[in-house]
Amino acid sequence: MSEPVKAVATNFIRNIINEDLKHGKNGGRVHTRFPPEPNGYLHIGHAKAICLNFGIARDYQGLCNLRFDDTNPAKESEEFSRAIEEDLRWLGFEWHNTPYHASDYFEQLYKFAEELIEKGLAYVDEQDADAMRASRGTLTEPGTDSPYRDRPVAENLDLFRRMRAGEFEDGSMVLRARIDMASSNLNMRDPVIYRIRRQHHIRTKDAWVIYPMYDFTHGISDALEGITHSLCTLEFEDHRPLYNWFLDNITIDCHPQQIEFARLSLAYTITSKRKLSQLVTEGLVSGWDDPRMPTLTGIRRRGFTPRAIRRFCDLIGVTKKNTVTDMSILEDCVRQDLDAHAPRAMAVLDPVKVVIENYPEGKVEMLEAPRHPKTDLGTRELPMTREIYIDRADFRESANKKFKRMVLEGEVRLRNGYVIKCLQAIKDDEGNITELRCSYDPETLGVNPEGRKVRGVIHWVSASHSLPAQVRLYDRLFKESNPGSLSDFHEAINPESLRILDNCRVEASLGEVQPEQQFQFEREGYFCADRHDCKPGHLVFNRSVSLRDSWAKLDQGA
Ligand code: ATP
Ligand code: MG
C-alpha cells in the first residue's frame, strides 16, 4: 500500500465484524473478496466495493481475495481480467495469493450439484423457457410445480451426467434447485442452477458444455475460499436466502455471511458496464480509458489520483440506503489532493503575444519560482524575455475595476515576475488583437511599485522559450443528472464534453514531463500529461479538474 494506514470512519459492516470478533466467530479471521465479472473495465462504483473489501482486510489484518466471477463465457475476456488487475494495483490494493476464478471450482460445483440431486433437492427440468416463465408465478401469485419436479433421483442423476457429457441440445433442459414454488421470494422458486451452453471459456476452453448460474456459484466459491464476510450490493438482499440455502444443503464446513450495502450512483454519469461498453463500441468515446469515462482507467487518464478516489470512498461511507452522490464530491477530493501535491506551472491556453518594448532584445533572465506554495518541492526557472505570451482572456482594452487583469494603460504583475504596463493593442483587419505592446518596470521584481496600483496578477510564458502543447479540456459526458434512467442515454450526451486546444504554450520546465505527471497550471486548473499521447516534443495535457467547482455555482443558479 502506498500510504500508511489511516483511521477510517466505522460503518455498519465494520460494526458487524467487530461483534463477530468479540464473539470469536470464524476463529477471529476476517477474509473478504472482490468478485468482478471480467466482462468490462472497473468503474468508480467498483472502487467503492474495492475500498470496502480491501480496506476491511487491511484494517483487521485479514485477507482479501480477487476472484474473477467467470461463469458467463460469452462476454468475458482476458483483456478485461488484465485490466482489472492493473486498475486494482493502481488504486493501491494487492490481493491475497494469486487471483481466484469461479471457473477453478467447476468440478467441485458439479459435485455439489450431484449432491443436491442425490438429496432430492435438485431436478432436471425439460420445460421450455416460456413454460418455465409462465409457471414461475408473480409477486402476488405463487408459482406452479414443473411436471418434471418429482422425477426420481436416479433419473435426475443420469440426465445431469448426460447434460455434462454433451448429449443434449443447448437450452433443451436445465438443472433446478428443488425449493418451494410457492415461496414469497421469487428467487426461491426452484431457481435454475445449471444450463447447457456450448461456449468456449477463456480458461476451461471446451471442457464444459454446462455452466453453473451465478447464485449457485457465488456462495459456494466464497465458502471454498474461506471467506468470512461476503459483501455485495443491495439488489442481492433477496438472494440471501438462496445463498444460505445452498450452503446449508451441501457438505461444506464454511458458511460466509452475506451482507448487502448500497451501490454507488454518481450523478451525470452511468455505471452500467453494458452501457459503458456501448459507448466504446459505438465510438462515442475513444475507448474504455477515454478521460470522460467513469472507468478507473478513464479517470486515471483524466488525472484523478488513487489517493483522491480512496478519500472519496471514505467520505461517502457505506450504508444500506441507495442515494445519488454528486460528482462534485469526487472532483473536490481530486482538487484537494492535487492542490496539496501537484507542482505549479504556467501554461497559456489561448496565447496572445506581448512585446515588452523597454526589455533588451536577446536578453534572457532566469527568474526563480517555487514549485509549490506550501510544500517544499524545490524551484523552477522561468526565462524572462522581451517577447512573452499571455492569455487572450487576460486583456481588455477597457474594463471596470472588477477586471483584475490587463487593460490599456493599466499595470499588472506577471506571476513570479515583473510589473508590466500595456501601451498599445495591435489589431488585424478584422479587429482581432494580434499583439500587445507593453513596458516593464525593472524595479518591481518581488517588490510592489510605490504609489501605483497594480490591477492583478496574470500568468505568462516566454515566447522564445515556452513549448507548444495540446490541451484537452474535459467536461461531463452527460448533460442529464441521471442518464442511466433515460430510455435512450444518447440524447443526454454532452456535445461539448471535449474541447481540444492546439495552440497552447507551456513553460520551458515542462519539456521533460513524464506521462501522468500532474500540475496545477496556475489560474487555469489541474492538468496531467496524457499517459499515452504526451511525449517529448509533443506535449499533451488533460484537464483533470478546474480550480473551483463551476458546476456547483450553476446548480445554485449563479
Ligand atoms: P454489471 O454492470 O455488469 O451488472 P456489476 O455491477 O454486477 O456489473 P461486477 O463485475 O459483478 O459488476 O461487480 C463486482 C463487484 O463490484 C460486485 O461485488 C458488485 O457488488 C460491486 N459493484 C459493482 N457496481 C457497484 C457500485 N456501483 N457500487 C458499489 N459496488 C459495486
Ligand atoms: Mg455482477
Assess if residue 1 is contained within a domain.
no
Give the separation between CA 422 and CA 263, rounded to whole angstroms: 56
Residue 191 belongs to some domain of the structure: yes
Q: How far is the CA of 183 from the centre of ligand 2 (A)?
A: 24
> What's the pLDDT at 500?
98
Quick one: which atom of ligand 1 is closest to the CA of 42?
10
Nearest C-alpha neighbor of 267 from the set 122, 458, 435, 477: 477
pLDDT for the residue 5: 46
Residue 41 shares a structural domain with residue 185: yes
Q: What is the pLDDT of residue 494?
A: 96
As a whole-number percent, the residues of the chain with pLDDT over 70 amount to 97
Residue 1 pLDDT: 38
72 assigned to some structural domain: yes
Closest by CA to 551, choosing from 481, 482, 483, is 481
| Å from CA of 40 to ligand 2 middle | 11
Measured from the Cα of 272, ligand 1's closest atom is 2
Q: Are residues 294 and 163 in the same domain?
A: no
Number of the ligand 1 atom closest to the C-alpha atom of 38: 10
- Determine the average pLDDT of the residues in 262-277: 95
Other CB atoms within 10 Å distance of the CB of residue 321: 7
Total domain count, the chain: 3
Q: Which ligand is nearest to the CA of 46?
A: 1
Last residue of a domain, one of 465, 484, 519: 465
* Ligand 1: nearest atom to the Cα of 236: 20
How does pLDDT run across 404-416, given as a tens digit for each residue?
A: 999 999 999 999 9
Q: How far is CA 78 from CA 37, 40, 73, 233, 279, in A?
A: 11, 10, 11, 25, 20
Residues 475-490 pLDDT 10s: 999 999 999 889 999 9
Tell me if 441 sits within 8 A of 421, measured CB to CB. Answer: yes
Confidence check: pLDDT of 2 > 50? no
Residue 7 pLDDT? 57
| 150 and 72 share one domain | yes
Report the C-alpha gap between 256 and 227 in whole angstroms: 6
Ligand 1 pocket member 36 (CB < 6 A): yes
Half-sphere CA count of 285, side-chain side, radius 13 A:
25
Please confirm, yes or no, whether 273 is among the known catalytic residues.
yes
**How much is the pLDDT for 76?**
86
B/e letters for 370-386, b = 16+ CB within 10 Å, e = fewer, are ebbeeeeeeebebbbbb
Q: What is the pLDDT of residue 6?
A: 53
Quick one: 280 and 314 in the same domain? yes
**d(Cα 246, Cα 113) in Å, to the nearest integer?**
10
Can you tell me which atom of ligand 1 is nearest the CA of 273? 2
- Binned at pLDDT 50, 70 and 90, residue 292 comes out as very high
pLDDT at 550: 64
Residues 402 and 487 both lie in one domain:
no
**Do 436 and 375 fall within a single domain?**
yes
- Ligand nearest to C-alpha 51: 1
Q: Return the minimum-mean-pLDDT range out of 155-159, 256-260, 309-313, 448-452.
A: 448-452
- Considering only CA atoms, which residue is closest to atom 18 of ligand 1? 232
pLDDT digits (tens, 9 = 90+) for 327-371: 999 999 999 999 999 999 999 999 999 999 999 999 999 999 999
CA of 317 to the centre of ligand 1 (A): 17
Phi then psi for 139, rounded to 5 degrees? -60, -30
Give the DSSP H or E segment for 280: helix 273-281
Q: Mean pLDDT throughout 155-177? A: 98
Q: Which atom in ligand 1 lies closest to the alpha carbon of residue 69?
A: 11
Q: Is the CB of 508 under 6 A from ligand 1?
A: no
Residue 7 lies in a domain: no
At residue 8, the pLDDT reads 66
Distance 35 CA to ligand 2 centre (A): 8
Which residue among the candidates 14, 25, 197, 263 is catalytic per the annotation?
Answer: 263
Specify the residue with its C-alpha closest to ligand 1, atom 14. Answer: 36
Whether 39 is in a domain gets the answer: yes
Q: How confident is the model at residue 128 (pLDDT cuts 50, 70, 90)?
A: very high
For 356, what's the count of Cα atoms within 13 Å in the CB-facing half-sphere? 29
Q: Does residue 470 have a pLDDT over 90? A: yes
Q: 36 C-alpha vs ligand 1 centroid, how far in Å?
A: 7
Ligand 1 pocket test, candidate residues 46, 222, 239, most atoms within 8 A of CB: 46
The pLDDT value given to residue 558 = 30
Inside any domain, residue 2: no
The protein residue whose alpha carbon is closest to atom 3 in ligand 1 is 273
Sheet with 31-34: strands ordered across: 31-34, 63-68, 100-101
Same domain, 458 and 485: no
Identify the active-site residue in 273, 301, 302, 405.
273
Which ligand has the nearest atom to the CA of 35?
Answer: 1
- Which of 64, 88, 233 most suits a substitution to test ligand 1, by most atoms within 8 Å of the C-beta? 233
CB count within 10 Å of CB 132 equals: 17
Q: Supply the CATH number for residue 251's domain.
A: 3.40.50.620
**pLDDT confidence of 551, banded at 50, 70, 90?**
low
Residue 3 lies in a domain: no
Least confident residue range of 110-114, 448-452, 506-510: 448-452
Q: Judge if 339 and 351 occupy the same domain.
A: no
Options 37, 85, 86, 516, the catalytic residue: 37
Q: Of the ligands numbered here, which is closest to the C-alpha atom of 263?
A: 1
Average pLDDT for 378-391: 98
Give the DSSP letter string of 320-363.
Answer: SS--EE-HHHHHHHHHHHHHHHPPEE-EESSEEEEEETTSPTT-
What is the Cα Rg of the chain in Å?
31
Segment 528-532 long-range contacts (CB within 8 Å, at least 24 positions apart): 528/302, 528/303, 530/301, 530/472, 531/300, 531/301, 532/289, 532/301
Q: Is the CB of 37 under 6 A from ligand 1?
A: yes
CB atoms within 10 A of CB 443: 11
Same domain, 162 and 175: yes
Structural domain for 395, as ranges: 347-465
Mean confidence (pLDDT) of the chain: 95
Q: Residues 449, 497: one domain?
A: no
pTM: 0.94
48 CB near ligand 1 (under 6 Å):
yes
Cα 288 from Cα 458, distance rounded (Å): 37
Which ligand 1 atom lies nearest to the CA of residue 274? 2
In order of 33, 159, 299, 475, 494, the CA distances from 479 in angstroms are: 35, 54, 18, 10, 5
Question: What cell does 428 get?
Answer: 488585424
Task: Kindly give the residue spans of alpha helices, DSSP state H, lying in 179-257.
Answer: 214-224, 240-249
Please report the pLDDT score of residue 554 as a whole number: 45
Domain-ending residue, one of 416, 431, 465? 465
Catalytic site includes residue 282: no
Is the shortest distance between the CB of 271 and ligand 1 below 6 Å? yes
**For position 478, what pLDDT does the model report?**
96
pLDDT tens figures, 193-237: 999 999 999 999 999 999 999 999 999 999 999 999 999 999 999
Same domain, 49 and 132: yes
CA dist 216 and 207 (Å) reads 19
Ligand 1 near 272 CB (within 6 A): yes
Please report how many Cα atoms fall inside a 13 Å half-sphere around the Cα of residue 85, on the Cβ side: 14
Q: Among 401, 436, 465, which residue terminates a domain?
A: 465
How far, in Å, CA of 288 to CA of 297, rounded?
Answer: 7
4, part of any domain? no
pLDDT of residue 555: 42
Report pLDDT for 4: 43
CATH code, domain with 362: 2.40.240.10
Atom 25, ligand 1: residue with shortest CA distance: 45
Reported residue count of the chain is 558
* Closest-CA residue to 183 (of 121, 257, 124, 238): 238
Distance 550 CA to ligand 1 centre (A): 30
Taking CA atoms only, the protein residue closest to ligand 1 atom 16 is 46
d(CA 440, CA 461): 15
Is 531 an annotated catalytic residue?
A: no
40-97 tens-digit pLDDT: 999 999 999 999 999 999 999 999 999 999 999 888 899 999 999 999 999 999 999 9
Answer yes or no: is the C-beta of 35 below 6 A from any ligand 1 atom. Answer: yes
Domain match, 81 and 171 both:
yes
Higher pLDDT, residue 53 or 558: 53
Ligand in closest contact with the CA of 50: 1
